[in-house]
Amino acid sequence: MKIHREGYRIVLLSLALLAVPVLLTYWLCPYRAVGHGVLLLALLLLAFVVRFFRVPSRPFVPSESALYSPADGTVVAIEEVDEGMFLNSRCMQVSVFMSVWNVHINWYPTQGEVVAYKYHPGDFLVARHPKSSTHNERTSVVLKRSDGRQLLVRQIAGFVARRIVCYAKEHQAVQQCDEMGFIKFGSRVDVLLPLEAKVLVELGQKVKGRTSILAEL
């Protein structure tokens, strides 16, 4: 299993920190069973950290009409909203909530040019909360497709997640399902689409990045 580059430092740090109590237990405790128990617990914790930063192998079929999910998780919102900061129009918003058990890489749902990027400082409300889209720490990335239509992808920090990584740069040309970024330890991604987009998912549906199609244009 491949580990994402955002996880190298954390995995190594976790390994070093977990090794200390294991070694001390074997050195100071006369009961080997206790040492074995601490070792098992440390391995489980390390496995959780490694699993969190895993990189799945997922081939996909490029499509001009399909808009792939930018993240793994659960669809928690499908609604019309007014977006007045970048798109200045009424849009269809589809939101995907990522738990700590999901892959936390974020991908571009379609090809295009990054015409706007902005980091917004903010709060750390629970990412499922509707106000998290406008109140939480987040990034906004606007993509302009070759057909001229634009969509906005928003990474949102949650109550646990305190670190958003976004690789987008203005005027950068990106391909469908290229990596857009990474959110550490649970959060949410919103996709704001033109109203003519045909949404293909339902509330509560489990989706996978690079695999599940959220909508079609």
| Contact in structure between 108 and 151 (CB atoms under 8 Å) | no
- 205 CB-contact burial (10 Å; exposed 0-12 / middle 13-18 / buried 19+): middle
Q: How far apart are CA 217 and CA 210, in angstroms?
A: 17
| Contact in structure between 217 and 197 (CB atoms under 8 Å) | yes
Residue 187 is a catalytic residue: yes
Q: Which of 69, 95, 187, 212 is catalytic?
A: 187
| Contact in structure between 16 and 63 (CB atoms under 8 Å) | no
> Comparing C-alpha atoms, which of 194, 184, 188 is closest to residue 131?
188
> Comparing C-alpha atoms, which of 77, 67, 136, 149 is closest to residue 107?
67
**In terms of DSSP H, where are the helices of the chain?**
8-28, 32-52, 132-135
- 178 CB-contact burial (10 Å; exposed 0-12 / middle 13-18 / buried 19+): middle
- Which residues are tagged catalytic? 187
